[in-house]
Each structure stands twice: as C-alpha cells, then as structure tokens.
Amino acid sequence: MVRILPANLGLTSTKAENPVKIEQPQYAESDLVKKLIIQIPAYNEAETLPEVLDDLPRHLEGVESIQVVVIDDGSTDNTAQVALEHGADFVLRHRSNRGLSKAFISGVQFALALGADIIVNTDADHQYPGSEIQPLIQPILEGDADLTIGDRQTQSNRNFSPAKRWLEARGSAIARKVSETDVPDAVSGFRAYSRYAALPLQVYNPYSYTLETLVQAGKSRMKIAHVPIQTNPQRRESRLHRGTLNFIWRQSGAIIRSYVLYQPLRTFVSIGALFLVLGLALLIRFLVLYFTINTAGRFLQSVTIGGTLTVAGIILIIIGFIGDSIRANRQISEEILVNMRNAAKITDPDNLTEFDGHPIYTHSHPYIPS
C-alpha cells in the first residue's frame, strides 16, 4: 500500500505556456505496525497442544510481530507447562475451570493489554491448521474487515458427519437471521479480530462466545468477512456439549438470549402486542355478546382469559421499554469498557507474573506444578 500525495500543490512552472509538472513522491504507510496475538483457550489439552503450537506460523506477510498466548482454563493436567515448552510466549492460567467464554474474554483482554493490533482465536484441539491464519487475517490487513470468520465449508467438509452438517446449516441460518449478517459458518471458533472489533467484546453467555459475539458485531454494524478454510480431522468429541440434543438446547438458548439481550424492545413489544391483541379480542367478543344476546353470562371465561392476556401483554411491553433503557445504559458501560481496555498497557511483559488476578507464566517465570 502506498500513500500518494495530491497532484496539485501549486508546484508548477511560472511559464503558463509550458507548465512543468512536478511528479509527487510516494510514501509507504509505515505507520501501520501490526502486532498479531494468537490466543488459544485450553482445558486439559496437554496431548494436542504440542502439535497445535508447532503448527503455528511465526512470520506472516504484513505482520510486524507474532506472540502466542495460551489461556489455561484451570486444567488438571500439565497444559501450562507443555504450552511453554512448545513455544507459547505467555500462559494465562485460571485458578479453576470457568468455561470457554471466560477463557476467551480473558485472552482478549490480555492480548489488548499486550498491544495487539489483530487477535486470532484458534482451538487447542488442532481443528484449524496454522497455515490458514494468513488468509484469515488478510481482509483485516487490507482494511476490508473488522472481524473475519473462518468458514469450515460445513456442507462439503469430509470431517463432519451428515448430522453435524445438517445441524451446522440450520443453526448458522438462524444465527444469520438474528445477527443480520451473511456468515455461512456462525459457530466457527477460528476468528480474527481487529483491535477496533476486540475492544468492546463482552460475553454474557457462559456456554460459548461464538454466537453472542457474532450478534454483537452484527448489531454494531462492524465490517464482517468470511474466508473458506480447511480443517484437520476431529481428534475427539467436543467438550462443550453432551450429544446432539444437548448441543441444540445450548445453542438455541444462546441465540434466544443474545437476541433478547441486544433487541429487548423489539422482542418484548412484539410478544406483548400479540398477547394484548388476543386479550382485547376476547374482551371485545364478550362485550358484543353481552349487548346482543341475553345469555352472554356463559361467556364469562372470555373476560377471565382476555383480561389475563391483556395484563400480560401490557406488562411485557413495559418490560420491553425497561430493557431498552438498560440496553442504552449498557452501551454507555461498553464505551467506558473500551476506554479502560484501550488504556490498559503492559509495560514490562518480561517480568509479568499476574494479570487481572490471574497468574501469568512465561519462559522467565515458568509454571511449576504443585
């Protein structure tokens, strides 16, 4: 990329009949220094971490420096020790298992404090090859995206079972509708965030971060891109869910909760309006029958049901307006969060031993199992 100065700076010959054009110099945009942080949430992944870390690139086009952070989510094996032995620059360790969402956010906050311009999140089970990181970050490097999601091409991926392909397709279709995006693989954990996209990230769902952060990015009108990627064969069953039905239950709950969280007014007013219309219809029905026939007393159940529905509808609409006020306050809180995260800087990473109360391990401060 080059920066071309404006052609007309008044640098021409004083002879109008034979103007001499001064060719303007070109300057490289060297002020855009890119620091890439690759974060890997891990829980009892000592077996697969070596091949994951050995597969990660240490030099990429358009990137000034690369650092690797492993978030050890309270593992009971020697995940932290293995991570350092195989090239991780930092290990942020949770004292107990807090779940994938908390590990993801801890990694994002730590990476931002390290001065990351781009954050790549990948899995510790080696589902995603390290060679796919360059195409993943390319849209961000070129300024075409704030968030890039790796598309595992679920409908043609040989590493996925037919049932998983069907579930991924249905789930992604619903997630696209809710998030107002066109991402084909909504639950892919292989993602790259620009600093701008990472600063406001917050996850309220304890189960997973993929759907909620996608909804958040979509509602914030961020530039989202997706790139096709290849995946490695599955090494083990997922630890996030216990079977297909549990997966559907958890993902459905995540989608509903995310939608309600970011669209409370539309959600509750829509449901409340439906209750209100049904309740009023029953009440009007009773009134019409009361004034037209003498036996309207046997339709008193319309008053009971209609009145209940009407009150429920009014309450839901009120909840919608209250939720919208809370959403506005949350936006203010997010702005404060962005400023705090952007201001947080780790000035001496070599001697770092703790971050936000979590122990940090490095090669100069190695992990020693108790």
Which tokens in the block code for residue 4? 């071309």
Each domain of the chain, given as residue ranges in start order, spans 34-262, 264-349
Pick the more confident residue, 169 or 28: 169
- Of 34-48, 141-155, 284-298, 337-351, least confident by mean pLDDT is 284-298
Share of the chain above pLDDT 70, in %: 84
E-state strands within the chain? 2-4, 26-28, 35-42, 65-73, 90-94, 118-121, 147-151, 191-194, 224-228, 354-355, 358-361
d(CA 263, CA 269): 10
For position 370, what pLDDT does the model report? 67
- pLDDT (mean) for 187-195: 92
pLDDT at residue 136 greater than cutoff 90: yes
Pick the more confident residue, 86 or 331: 86
Pick the more confident residue, 295 or 134: 134
Which CATH number is 34-262 given? 3.90.550.10
pTM, full prediction: 0.78
Mean pLDDT of the chain: 82
- pLDDT (mean) for 287-308: 79
Q: How confident is the model at residue 107 (pLDDT cuts 50, 70, 90)?
A: very high
| Look-up of token digits 């010959």 | 13
pLDDT at residue 191 greater than cutoff 90: yes
Quick: pLDDT tens for 36-69: 999 999 999 999 999 999 999 989 988 999 999 9
d(CA 152, CA 364): 37
Quick: pLDDT tens for 216-256: 888 888 999 999 998 888 766 666 556 566 667 777 777 78
Q: What is the DSSP letter of 3?
A: E
- Of 85-99, 100-114, 122-136, 144-158, least confident by mean pLDDT is 144-158
Q: Under DSSP, is residue 261 helix (H, G, I), strand (E, B) or coil?
A: helix
Q: How confident is the model at residue 270 (pLDDT cuts 50, 70, 90)?
A: very high
